[in-house]
Structure 1
Amino acid sequence: MADSIRLALSRAIADPRPPKPDFSHIEDRIRYLHWLGEMSSRLAKRIPDYQTRIELLETIWYESKRAGLDTAMVMGLMQVESGFRKYATSTAGARGYMQVMPFWSRTIGDGDATKLFQMQTNLRYGCSILRLYLDMEKGDLFLALGRYNGSRGRPEYPNAVLSNWKNWEYKNRNG
């Protein structure tokens, strides 16, 4: 990986700001709150604890927007990767909600792979890495998802994410 890319990713994941949205218009805040309520209802069976669920959704929203990603797409990816399980670990060693490989903590982080089980850290890494792959693939989501999963060129993983993306789309019924 080029030093400039490594530096840009390191800066992106080191940003200390907490995942709290800031809205310049009340209408945007209202849309966000409607989204939060709707997604909380949809996610309740998978994550019964209300506080944990809301914190996860706030973090998903913040980190996906921060990386310029669609929140529903990120949630579709999380559904495929971990089933929304914080401590999921793959046979390859990927960790957490977005199944981030430990080598990323050495490549762009502080080297502590245990932090990949922390909600904000996992989502920040996952969203930043996916954004990198989207940029590398010039916006081709199919190829970027294949890179993310290590299955580039095979359709099963991108198709699964794209299919699950539909489960998390939000249609604002209030304007």
Structure 2
Amino acid sequence: MNKTAIAVTLASALALSACSKKAPEELPPPPQTTTPTPSGPPPQTGPIPGSQAHFAQAMQGRDTIYFDTDQYNIDPEDQAALRQQAQYMQQYADIRATIEGHADERGTREYNLALGERRATAARNYLVSLGISPDRLNTVSYGKERPIALGSDQASWARNRRAVTVILN
């Protein structure tokens, strides 16, 4: 072999041996994980305040009032539920609501639509008397078209004679 070839082989061997690494005697510690600090408020859990879900949760069933047959008067139990609704609406002054009037299946469609309207209006008027602006409240009557209880018995009819307050988002 000539001197040049030997020199190239030696240079290559030296270069390769310089690249080889020995294993360290002690491994470095694993990287530390850091939790970033939140820059804003903590994430919201549960329903958004002022939403229909939050209202329903806060009312615990008192978002609905019930009526006797062919009646639309607000009794003391209904007054308590409507007072609780008014307090919620005063706390969240930017929300609007629709009050839905419903009737049971007995009677004509026209009669039940009119009765549902009287029930919704009675609930609305009571909320207005408690200080809720009438501009924040709408009414709609569904008559017997949206029953909550399907059945032709006294218990079903009693559940369907109602006014329901629904928060608009």
TM-score, length of structure 2 as denominator length: 0.24
**TM-score, L = length of structure 1:** 0.24
Which structure is higher in helix share?
A: 1
Which of 1 and 2 has greater Rg?
2
- Quick check: which one's strand share is greater? 2
